[in-house]
Structure 1
Amino acid sequence: MALRIEKAFGVSIDSLMRMQNQFDIAQIRKRAGEIKVSRYKPAVASAR
């Protein structure tokens, strides 16, 4: 899709993808409080 927009409007794919990525990050940060994830705790290796 980005390639088609690039060809039709002359906007580079790099710019389009960067804008989309920034938008996606902004949207998920707005919802960060709704996402519940517990911190990863690696298992302790047993001593031999």
Structure 2
Amino acid sequence: RLRGRLHRFGAEGRPTVVTYHPAYLLRTPADKAKAWQDLLFAREVASRG
């Protein structure tokens, strides 16, 4: 539900990207591609400033 969108956290409204827990990815390798997409999205958000 929370994945795939930009969220704002805290009073300052810090940009936050939600992804999978690393232990989940070790148990469910099929979702690694989704986690990689989350990391690419986080990098894009961070580069915007």
Q: Say yes or no: TM over 0.5.
A: no
| Greater relative contact order (Cα < 8 A, sep 6+) | 2
TM normalised by structure 2 equals 0.41
Larger Rg computed on CA atoms: 1
More strand by proportion, 1 or 2?
Answer: 2
More helix by proportion, 1 or 2?
Answer: 1
